[in-house]
Structure 1
């Protein structure tokens, strides 16, 4: 896979059909097919096939289930990596599992570390234990999921990654926290930070306001779309910006060293 100094990243902010994986896959196929600009990476929300549901016993897919096969097919057709999270069953446990699918059909997985106790996610889903760093086109990417955003130690940039991204179902009532934390994660880790959230209402009548965005290494928002509507936006991020900023502001050299238990 060739290295790229520029990475074109497409955010898909969308409503979701509650607990209807087939309809959501159909909808996202249409949205992916409509992407008019050349792109390298397509980011979908958390639990994009179902919405943020605790009904895992009825909705969970097998390890190599229908949605993963769909993601592989869409990645190959679009010649772009695709990421988003899916409810998965493995060895009698349920996981909120992020797939990062490469254009050639290979993939990496990350199981959400911080399950959202306020919604009882910890009662249904097992938490992940390992962070994932993806090497894609010469970019080191750290993909995380929703509630992980509130825990800066888990996101700490100890590997000099280039891009931190979050897929989410983040409710409207805590939008200000979403905006602030995405910006903070970019600044403290001196990396691009992207958050992709959904809009609309779910089956529990929780409202989501989107606010999907791209922040640069200095915490400046470089995405431009309207916040609380469905949209598709492609944003170009560059290695030059990372190198120039880190070369001038050597803050990462002063970071604390620690190990998580």
Structure 2
């Protein structure tokens, strides 16, 4: 198995101001990477261009592409890597919370958020995603998840079809301990690397976010984390031969229960 270099971006999202977010991110990229950019995958939080403004009209992207997707393509080409983050996209009379994965050559894949946050009435404005997705980069299979998906282990159960789980979020500070706990639980139960990418700051609904952007290994050990309440990009290289050896020495996955999603 090969290696994959991950860069995860934790920042304070401007509410309903796409251009301000693009400007802020471009400055963060420039400050962090300077002339030494070396990442295969650059990850942004959930609804990175607008904030979690699910009940606002006119903020969603067109389904065949919009401003945020064009910007992702620009960044992917500029930094010669996959750039990924979620945006709200128009679909029929609702939106979908779409996690875009954009390659340097302009190729686009996506995953639509499956589990909608009932407490925030997300289901009233956002259509439920129907398909579990595996995305492959440099031979590494990746399971993309968005925020609330983290609470549902059946959806993220490793069928030995992925090596890395990525969750991008607007996870509130009030439930931060749940975020920290479940990221480690998902890593251990699925014997996989896990990357969690969360925002900081207060959104337009006065909800506070403290971050918790982190990279965790298959044993539940934290490899690197961003500083709470601070804009930061964390970067590390994952060596998937270590995962392969771990699973060879401790093949708990062979004793997993069979199941089917309905």
Q: Same fold (TM over 0.5)?
A: yes
Q: Is residue 48 from structure 1 mapped to residue 48 from structure 2 by the alignment?
A: yes
Q: Would you say the 8 A contact 2:212–2:225 is kept in 1?
A: no
For residues 15-73 of structure 1, give each alpha carbon's deviation from its aligned partner in whole angstroms, at most 9, with x where no partner exists. Answer: 01001112112211222233424111011000001111123422111021111011011
Partner of 1:155: 156
Deviation at 1:224, TM superposition (A): 4.0
The equivalent residue for 2:57 is: 57
Q: 1:79-99, CA deviations, whole angstroms, 9 ceiling, x for partnerless residues? A: 110111001002333111100
Contact 2:184 2:221 in 1 (8 A): yes
User: Which runs of 4 or more aligned residues in structure 1 lie more than 4 Å from their structure 2 counterparts after TM superposition?
Assistant: none
Residue number in structure 1 paired with 2:28: 31
Within 1, Cα distance between the matches of 2:216 and 2:74? 29
Structure 1 residues 161 and 206 mapped into 2: Cα distance closer, same or farther (>3 Å)? same
* Gaps in structure 1 of 5+ consecutive residues: none
Q: How many angstroms does 1:162 deviate by?
A: 0.8
RMSD: 1.2
Give the counterpart of 1:14 among 11, 15, 20: 11
Q: Is the 8 A contact 1:217 1:241 kept in 2?
A: no
Q: Distance in 2 between matches of 1:189 and 1:249?
A: 12
- Give deviations 1:135-183, integer Å, cap 9, x for gaps: 1110000111000000000000014311001000000010100000000
C-alpha contact (below 8 Å) 1:56/1:87 kept by paired residues: no
Equivalent pairs counted in the alignment come to 258
After superposition, residues 73-222 of structure 1 pair within 5 angstroms as 73-222=74-223
Segment drifting more, 34-43 vs 61-70: 34-43
Q: Which runs of 5+ in 2 are unaligned?
A: none
